[in-house]
Chains A and B, each alone.
Chain A
């Protein structure tokens, strides 16, 4: 089975975000980068599938040299090959990412492709569906369960207040949500091995359709009304919710 997994590198979720000098991106000083957490579910699913059916897992990322870290993480979890579509700048939009991913995927012609359900930096939830559509492949996002039966796939997808059961056929694209599996912790041996494993580089083509005009920190709310006398403040709190906030 030819299995593909798309991975991106994102600032750690505990990063204190500061706007950089350009006013259009974050200040990268002191930021630690990690593989997008949802992409770990995607890699795990890909590797489990390989372990079950045989085959090969290729991890792909679009970005600067730094994005190799995401591919290395995929190596540590069991991916066999890695491809970086290398751009000079990290400032690329979702369409460009999807276009570049689609070009690589098309060449490899895999049976199944995994993504994370969304990146935790720009929270777009875009690239998965766009890549699939550019390739003309079916896709299901926010997948919490996946069963394959030959070329038939049945996915469960999380929605408000429940789940959908979605049927499709391979080749297809799936976006992984927490709950799909439990990503493994790489052992020391695989961590060591990942360091010297080569990563193939491919040329990048910019085809952007959006641009970030400005980034700003949210207006701070100002100090709230915080009472410190415990339960005796309850009537006042309820009154404020009713009369001032008018929400109850």
Chain B
């Protein structure tokens, strides 16, 4: 019982940290339950890429070629969430997995509910922790925009679990990794599984997205005008960070919506979040309070952002940002 399957997501045929995090989390959960785990990857990634999952302890990777899968659907598509969900769910049903672990990226969030229905499993999303006892796990997940934590149990024997990205650490654990190829036919895929088809992926800019960044420098209304976001961008550049924004400046049209962090924007958990001229409204905190370290720069010592900050300077962003950029540049030479 308690057989675990991890769905490793590859982006443009390359596994990113979220896939390694899922493998590590799955490995720990398997150990805690005294069971094993397998990985499924639906991608055109190279054999070498697939084997890289072994560096995090994956001993067995089932691989379904994405282009082979796509050949069962309409011509000219990039991928189909519904077909990928069908393939993963049919595979899990045939092999009898009880727990399916998926990273809660935009891709993972889209397919997880479909997989849970197809495998007749409970679903618990956005998990930040787990607890194993008596051969069962319960999951910890934030709710009410991070204002409280909830422990959720699943009642049926089976569960689909999505993990909040950037929360579980990927840990090196060398395993001899065996890759076994599977075919679309072996998982019963037909044209009717292609209910939705992604025909194009448009990258909004070449820039790093807040949802994927390890460091984020965000600016708010304290920057006063769109031009002074240059100061935020300069600091982000020396840190190799993504730039984020509060809703106030997104609504004002100073920054694109893709940069918005918070309840109606993106939820992020980077290692370092630098909030510049952001007051720290509850809806903003909802999107970033699970960051590992938070730095606040605000001229108002009573701004709520200081209550969640690990470090902060009460002062003027127009002085502090350039000084930080210079100071960090010194480290890099």
Question: What residues of chain A have their CB less than 8 Å away from a CB belonging to chain B?
Answer: 11, 13-17, 19, 26, 37, 93-95, 98, 120-130, 132-134, 137-142, 157-168, 172, 178-179, 208-218, 221, 224-231, 233-235, 237-238, 240-242, 245, 247-248
Q: Are A121 and B144 in contact (CB under 8 A)?
A: yes
Question: What residues of chain B have their CB less than 8 Å away from a CB belonging to chain A?
Answer: 81-82, 105-107, 109-110, 112-114, 116-118, 121-126, 138, 142-156, 195-205, 207-209, 211-212, 215, 239, 257-258, 263-264, 271-272, 282-283, 286, 289, 292-296, 301, 306, 308-316, 319-320, 323-324, 327-328, 331
- Chain A residues near B211 (CB, 8 Å)? 160-161
Q: Are A224 and B257 in contact (CB under 8 A)?
A: no
Q: Give chain A nearest CB distance to B322 CB in angstroms.
A: 9
- Chain B residues near A225 (CB, 8 Å)? 310-312
- Chain B residues near A13 (CB, 8 Å)? 145, 263, 282-283, 286
Q: Give chain A nearest CB distance to B21 CB in angstroms.
A: 15
A37-B264, A210-B154, A217-B148 are contacts. A160–B196 as well, Cβ < 8 Å?
no
Complex Cα–Cα for A139 and B81 (A): 9
Q: Are A234 and B324 in contact (CB under 8 A)?
A: yes
Complex Cα–Cα for A120 and B204 (A): 26
Q: Are B293 and A129 in contact (CB under 8 A)?
A: no
Q: Are B143 and A123 in contact (CB under 8 A)?
A: yes
Complex Cα–Cα for A194 and B218 (A): 42
- Chain A residues near B313 (CB, 8 Å)? 226-231, 233-234, 237
Q: List 14 A-B contacts (CB under 8 A).
A: A122-B144, A123-B144, A130-B114, A141-B110, A157-B106, A165-B202, A168-B196, A172-B196, A210-B154, A221-B310, A224-B296, A225-B311, A227-B311, A230-B315
Q: Give chain B nearest CB distance to A133 CB in angstroms.
A: 4
Q: Give chain B nearest CB distance to A155 CB in angstroms.
A: 8
Complex Cα–Cα for A200 and B173 (A): 57
Q: Are A208 and B155 in contact (CB under 8 A)?
A: yes
Q: Give chain A nearest CB distance to B241 CB in angstroms.
A: 9
- Chain A residues near B106 (CB, 8 Å)? 142, 157-160
Across the interface, B301 reaches (CB within 8 A) one of A134, A142, A228, A242, namely: A228
A37-B264, A168-B196, A227-B313 are contacts. A238–B152 as well, Cβ < 8 Å?
no
A210-B155, A213-B152, A233-B315 are contacts. A224–B144 as well, Cβ < 8 Å?
no
- Chain A residues near B200 (CB, 8 Å)? 164-165
Complex Cα–Cα for A209 and B197 (A): 30
Question: DSSP majority for the A interface?
Answer: mixed
Across the interface, A238 reaches (CB within 8 A) one of B112, B203, B327, namely: B327
Question: DSSP majority for the B interface?
Answer: mixed
Q: Are A226 and B312 in contact (CB under 8 A)?
A: yes
Across the interface, B198 reaches (CB within 8 A) one of A16, A129, A165, A172, namely: A165
Q: Are B215 and A247 in contact (CB under 8 A)?
A: yes
Complex Cα–Cα for A123 and B128 (A): 13
- Chain B residues near A166 (CB, 8 Å)? 81, 196-199
Closest to A165 in B: B200
Q: Are A128 and B113 in contact (CB under 8 A)?
A: yes
Across the interface, A163 reaches (CB within 8 A) one of B81, B110, B145, B202, namely: B202
Complex Cα–Cα for A133 and B107 (A): 16
Q: Are A245 and B311 in contact (CB under 8 A)?
A: yes
- Chain A residues near B204 (CB, 8 Å)? 161-163
- Chain B residues near A127 (CB, 8 Å)? 113
Complex Cα–Cα for A208 and B331 (A): 55
Complex Cα–Cα for A228 and B311 (A): 11
- Chain B residues near A178 (CB, 8 Å)? 257, 264
